[in-house]
């Protein structure tokens, strides 16, 4: 029997949605492949954060391994932060995994790995990676931004040349990589939205939450932070005309970063003088997320220079709710291409207020920039089952 792992999956980070994506890849392996072992390599910080992880895939075909060779402190004490830390940690991790001699390797967060891979030749196992946040293919905002995009493009294309497959959460990035390389090795990867729990009726949920029947509930969900446009939303709310403001409820559901607590609370307090405000703090369960998506009428995601996908925007699309979206890079491109809702310039309070007014006044008719059937179809195209099928077809079976 072959003692080598059929595939080695690794991630150097433990923040955000990293656990969710690793779980989906492991589940895809067990669902779609009938033999062979998957080794999942993670930093010790990952297992400290998720002590249940080693028992989450009870099968002798999934093994969890941690890096034991000397590595930069960043890999043992938390996710790497500086560019140098990222490159050193990635190089050390790849070296140790390569020594275990798997048949193929999948880097869960290729954004971190590309610098180390670009600086070496590769004659090892088939190497694939998931690209989460690529921006080189979008227009630059300044001379400095143009230089940064050129550097990132150069590193990505050099490292891509050493890979078997690159799976991109941004389909526009996959097209740009294939065009630049003259190959078809880059492919679009669905985001992988899990199915949310069923909820009781909208009327019952809104009644329990104390929301008036005639109120338009605009949802701000996830990290309640400046970079998510929270201050802009609060200022925009104060610019709404009186008839619109009287109908508006803004629900801020999620955690405020500790460093921003005072400033965010002050903004929300000022907002509450103009419109009705609902605030729920702390971690939001899938059940509560499903309930708020049922209760709300629209989603506010005017993020500041956000690179990559947005789980909140995709959830809104799947639920058939219009989103007010910043016109920046991927989120703006998706909103336009799939009719997800009005787009607004980053940080433009007046534009946000105007978009909110359009959505609220037209909620029973045609919301500009929004088509409910197209939005739902787009959201469903990012279902978890689509993610697993793509991973199997493009990596496991290729």
Q: Do 270 and 237 form a contact (C-beta atoms < 8 A)? A: no
Q: pLDDT tens across 244-257, in order?
A: 999 999 999 999 99
pLDDT at 74 over 50: no
Q: Do 356 and 218 form a contact (C-beta atoms < 8 A)? A: yes
Residue 308 gets the label, from left (phi > 0), alpha (psi -120 to 50) or beta, of: left
Q: What is the pTM of this model?
A: 0.90
pLDDT at 329 over 60: yes
Number of H helices, E strands in the chain: 17, 13
Cβ burial of 223 (10 Å; 0-12, 13-18, 19+) is middle
What is the total residue count of the chain?
398
Q: What single string gives the DSSP state of each residue in 240-279?
A: S-HHHHHHEEEEEEEEPPGGGHHHHHHHHHHHTTTSEEEE
Tell me how far CA of residue 161 lies from CA of 24, 96, 395, in angstroms: 26, 22, 16
Q: pLDDT tens across 17-47, in order?
A: 889 999 999 999 999 998 999 999 998 888 9
Q: pLDDT tens across 129-164, in order?
A: 999 988 889 988 899 989 988 888 888 888 888 899
Which residues, other chains included, contact 75 with Cβ-Cβ below 8 Å and sequence gap of 6+? 12, 43, 45, 67, 89, 92, 93
pLDDT at 72 over 90: no
Report the first-to-last Cα separation within the chain, whole angstroms: 22
Which secondary structure element, helix H or strand E, spans residue 113, and what is its range? helix 110-118
Predicted pLDDT at 69: 58
Confidence of residue 260 (pLDDT cuts 50, 70, 90): very high
- Over range 187-199, report the average pLDDT: 91
Predicted pLDDT at 73: 46
- The CATH number that domain 7-192+383-396 falls under is 3.40.50.2000
Distance between CA 220 and CA 281 in Å, rounded? 12
Q: pLDDT tens across 112-126, in order?
A: 888 888 888 888 899
Say yes or no: do domains 7-192+383-396 and 202-380 share a fold.
yes
- Over range 348-372, report the average pLDDT: 92
pLDDT at 75 over 80: no
Predicted pLDDT at 85: 78
Tell whether domain 202-380 is in CATH 3.40.50.2000: yes
pLDDT at 81 over 60: no
Predicted pLDDT at 16: 67
Tell me how far CA of residue 68 lies from CA of 25, 47, 65, 124, in angstroms: 23, 14, 9, 20
Distance between CA 324 and CA 205 in Å, rounded? 23
More confident residue, 182 or 389: 389
Predicted pLDDT at 8: 97
Q: What single string gives the DSSP state of each residue in 8-31?
A: EEEES--STTHHHHHHHHHHHHHH
Distance between CA 336 and CA 226 in Å, rounded? 24
Please report, for the chain, the start and end positions of each structural domain, with discontinuous segments joined by +. Answer: 7-192+383-396, 202-380
């Amino acid at each position: 029997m072959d003692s080598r792992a059929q595939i080695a999956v690794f991630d150097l980070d433990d923040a955000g949605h990293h656990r969710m994506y690793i779980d989906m890849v492991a589940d895809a392996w067990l669902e779609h492949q009938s033999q062979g072992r998957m080794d999942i390599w993670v930093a010790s910080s990952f297992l400290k954060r998720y002590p249940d992880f080693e028992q989450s895939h009870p099968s002798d075909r999934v093994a969890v391994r941690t890096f034991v060779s000397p590595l930069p402190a960043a890999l043992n004490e938390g996710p790497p932060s500086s560019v140098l830390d990222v490159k050193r940690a990635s190089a050390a991790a790849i070296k140790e995994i390569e020594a275990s001699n798997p048949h193929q390797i999948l880097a869960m967060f290729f954004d971190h790995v590309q610098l180390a891979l670009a600086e070496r030749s590769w004659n090892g196992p088939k190497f694939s990676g998931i690209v989460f946040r690529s921006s080189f293919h979008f227009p630059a905002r300044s001379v400095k931004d143009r230089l940064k995009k050129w550097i990132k493009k150069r590193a990505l294309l050099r490292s891509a040349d050493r890979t078997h497959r690159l799976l991109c959460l941004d389909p526009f990035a996959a097209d740009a990589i294939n065009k630049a390389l003259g190959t078809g090795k880059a492919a679009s990867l669905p985001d992988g939205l899990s199915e949310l729990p069923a909820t009781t009726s909208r009327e019952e949920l809104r009644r329990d939450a104390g929301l008036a029947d005639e109120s338009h509930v605009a949802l701000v969900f996830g990290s309640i932070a400046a970079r998510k446009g929270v201050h802009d939303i609060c200022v925009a709310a104060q610019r709404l005309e009186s008839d619109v403001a009287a109908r508006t409820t803004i629900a801020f559901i999620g955690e405020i970063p500790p460093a921003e607590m005072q400033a965010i609370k002050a903004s929300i307090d000022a907002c509450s003088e103009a419109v009705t405000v609902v605030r729920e703090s702390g971690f939001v369960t899938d059940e509560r997320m499903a309930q708020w998506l049922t209760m709300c009428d629209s989603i506010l995601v005017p993020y500041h220079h956000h690179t990559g996908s947005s789980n909140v925007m995709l959830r809104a699309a799947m639920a058939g709710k219009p989103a007010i979206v910043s016109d920046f890079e991927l989120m703006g491109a998706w909103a336009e291409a799939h009719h997800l809702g009005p787009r607004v310039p980053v940080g433009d309070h007046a534009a946000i207020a105007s978009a909110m007014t359009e959505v609220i006044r037209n909620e029973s008719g045609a919301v500009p920039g929004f088509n409910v059937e197209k939005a739902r179809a787009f959201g469903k195209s990012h279902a978890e089952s689509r993610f697993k099928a793509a991973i199997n077809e493009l990596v496991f079976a290729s």
